[in-house]
Amino acid sequence: MSQKEIPYKIYLEESEMPTAWYNLRADMKNKPAPLLNAATHERMTAEELAGVFCEELIRQELDDQNPYYEIPKAIRDFYKMYRPSPLVRAYCLEEKLQTPAKIYYKFEGNNTSGSHKLNSAIAQAYYAKQQGLTGVTTETGAGQWGTALSMACSYFGLDCKVYMVKCSYEQKPFRREVMRTYGASVTPSPSMETAVGRKILAEHPGTGGSLGCAISEAVEKASQTEGYRYVLGSVLNQVMLHQSIIGLETKTAMDKYGIKPDVIIGCAGGGSNLGGLIAPFMGEKVRGEADYRFIAVEPASCPSFTRGVYAYDYCDTGMVCPLSKMYTLGSGFMPAANHSGGLRYHGMNSTLSQLYADGLMEAVSVKQTDVFAAAEDFARVEGILPAPESSHAIRVAIDEAMKCKETGEEKTILFGLTGTGYFDMLAYEKFHDGKMTDYIPTDEEIRKNFDKLPKVQ
Ligand SMILES: *Cc1c(COP(=O)(O)O)cnc(C)c1O
């Protein structure tokens, strides 16, 4: 089939939706390092994790052998309300750039939560319900994860308690109200409700909070409330497993039209959308069946891959979570206050970290003013108002397409468009008013947090 016949939007039939998630770790020769107990530095066992996490999710987290997990029917039925998501050929963007490159994006913003996070939220809520739990706790930064989880919990009739980073809670009241519409209770973090929150408030009165701090509060609350467990929207391998639906659908749609991407690009916060998008393609690469270039894009103000170290670190500020081996800026790292583009987590998913360490994936960091410029260019021709996080991938997709223009190469570029940016209008406003600045941390600022990494033998 010639490329001309490819439609603007490739929609799969419901019957073509994947029926199993793909666990990339099963095919990796070098497996990601195991989670360790933060106190003993011994390998975390399922029993230890069971006080905080749901049983089936623990099984998925610890499993680096089984390549496929059947998606339970109740989850597939929920997926059908907003999936398969479209794979879009960015004809208008190609035209605007006058590039010979062919650009595709997989759009995950077509649901009320506005991002890919619902793919894992519904799975996590399902397993919590199956286990007979009454509720879950979590943290949210920008609010997309909290929104997705509150939708999923209301669907299955579970309580949902969200600790929202205080500065977001204050800046994004509408996000908060969406969560409350779906029945969640939302607390600004740090709060006086938990011991770790009280401790952080005593040490840093007036702090706007951080993701790492909200995680500590949510974990404490879950472990001390009967019938509750803690769930997380990114970073963990179980989340990447659920997000493989993005890549599997993309691969099915591309195979149908005989399209093979040369470059696959995704933004990287904790790594779940990127890991999910690349999973089946990376699977082919590690099995030696095909080759692709993979590019992780991160903010220059929070550059875990490009300037972090590959080491065991705490996943949260309160140091209550297990240790994970990952590219990290140190759990004490906080992105500069002027950073509004999301993707502000200090660490990275352990599977992606191992792939990057093995040279199977590249990473680049980009400045937020360049990200918003790309967002605007994209919105003006493709119509969709992208989330700032997603716009990191747009930036690099455009840069790669412009390189093709110079060399005349007709490369096929695929990127993940993870969500929409309707709740990020304050950041867009700053950009339009010329008030957005870039802050790139100095080497010294980055290095000082490395001293506090746990000393794992
Ligand atoms: C949360 C989020 C991200 C980053 O999270 P990952 O786990 O790295 O995928 C990216 N885009 C949007 C729209 C998000 O909500």
Which residues, in sequence order, are CB contacts of 368 under 8 Å at separation 6+?
Answer: 299, 300, 301, 339, 340, 341, 388, 436, 438
d(CA 309, CA 330): 8
The preferred substitution site among 273, 278, 339, 346 for testing ligand 1, maximizing ligand atoms within 8 Å of CB, is 273
Q: Give the residue-averaged pLDDT of 188-202.
A: 94
d(CA 405, CA 54): 50
CB neighbours (10 Å) of residue 3?
A: 12
Does any ligand 1 atom lie closer than 6 A to the CB of residue 343? yes
Residue 1 predicted with pLDDT over 50: no
Closest CA to 277 of 262, 285, 267, 286: 267
Does any ligand 1 atom lie closer than 6 A to the CB of residue 302? no
Residue 3 predicted with pLDDT over 70: no
Find the DSSP H helices in 287-346.
304-307
The pLDDT assigned to 258 comes to: 96
Hey, which bits of 246-352 come out as E strands? 263-267, 293-299, 309-314, 323-328
The pLDDT assigned to 81 comes to: 97
CA 2 to ligand 1 centroid distance, Å: 34
Please list the residues that pair with 136 across neighbouring strands. Answer: 160, 229
Band (pLDDT 50/70/90 cuts) for residue 4 is low
Does any ligand 1 atom lie closer than 6 A to the CB of residue 118? no
Break the chain into its structural domains and give their ranges.
Answer: 3-17+80-114+237-450, 20-70+116-230
Q: Give the residue-averaged pLDDT of 121-129.
A: 98
| Closest-lying ligand 1 atom to the alpha carbon of residue 114 | 13
Is the Cα torsion angle 19, 25, 26, 29 positive or negative in sign? positive
Is the Cα torsion angle 424, 430, 436, 439 positive or negative in sign? negative
CA 269 to ligand 1 centroid distance, Å: 6
Contact (CB, 8 A) for 116 and 273? yes
Q: Encoding tokens for residue 22?
A: 């793909």
Does any ligand 1 atom lie closer than 6 A to the CB of residue 271? yes
Does any ligand 1 atom lie closer than 6 A to the CB of residue 138? no
The pLDDT assigned to 68 comes to: 98
Reported as a single tens digit per residue, the pLDDT across 405-444 is 999 999 999 999 999 999 999 999 999 999 999 999 999 9
| Closest-lying ligand 1 atom to the alpha carbon of residue 387 | 13
User: What CATH architecture does domain 20-70+116-230 belong to?
Assistant: 3-Layer(aba) Sandwich (3.40)
Reported as a single tens digit per residue, the pLDDT across 98-111 is 999 999 999 999 99
Counting other chains too, the contacts that 127-133 makes at CB distance below 8 Å and 24 or more residues apart are: 127/54, 127/55, 127/56, 127/57, 128/54, 128/156, 128/158, 128/229, 128/231, 129/156, 129/157, 129/158, 130/56, 131/54, 131/55, 131/56, 131/229, 132/227, 133/54, 133/158, 133/227, 133/228, 133/229
Band (pLDDT 50/70/90 cuts) for residue 339 is confident
Does any ligand 1 atom lie closer than 6 A to the CB of residue 240? no
Reported as a single tens digit per residue, the pLDDT across 28-87 is 999 999 999 999 999 999 999 999 999 999 999 999 999 999 999 999 999 999 999 999
CA separation, residue 330 to residues 3, 86, 323, 339 (Å) = 46, 37, 12, 18
Q: Which of the following CATH numbers is that of domain 3-17+80-114+237-450: 3.40.50.1100, 3.40.718.10, 3.40.50.300, 3.50.50.60? A: 3.40.50.1100
Does any ligand 1 atom lie closer than 6 A to the CB of residue 217? no
Reported as a single tens digit per residue, the pLDDT across 352-374 is 999 999 999 999 999 999 999 99
The reply to whether 3-17+80-114+237-450 and 20-70+116-230 are identical in fold is: yes
CA 266 to ligand 1 centroid distance, Å: 10
Closest Cα to atom 10, ligand 1: which residue? 389
Does any ligand 1 atom lie closer than 6 A to the CB of residue 273? yes
| Closest-lying ligand 1 atom to the alpha carbon of residue 276 | 9
CA 389 to ligand 1 centroid distance, Å: 6
The average confidence (pLDDT) of the chain is: 95
- In the three-class reduction of DSSP (H, G, I as helix; E, B as strand; rest coil), residue 41 is classed as coil
Does any ligand 1 atom lie closer than 6 A to the CB of residue 275? no
Residue 2 predicted with pLDDT over 60: no
CA 431 to ligand 1 centroid distance, Å: 21
DSSP label at residue 303: -
Closest Cα to atom 2, ligand 1: which residue? 389
Does any ligand 1 atom lie closer than 6 A to the CB of residue 419? yes
DSSP label at residue 15: G
Residue type, 220: E
Residue 310 predicted with pLDDT over 60: yes
Residue 205 predicted with pLDDT over 60: yes
The preferred substitution site among 108, 144, 295 for testing ligand 1, maximizing ligand atoms within 8 Å of CB, is 144
Reported as a single tens digit per residue, the pLDDT across 250-274 is 999 999 999 999 999 999 999 999 9
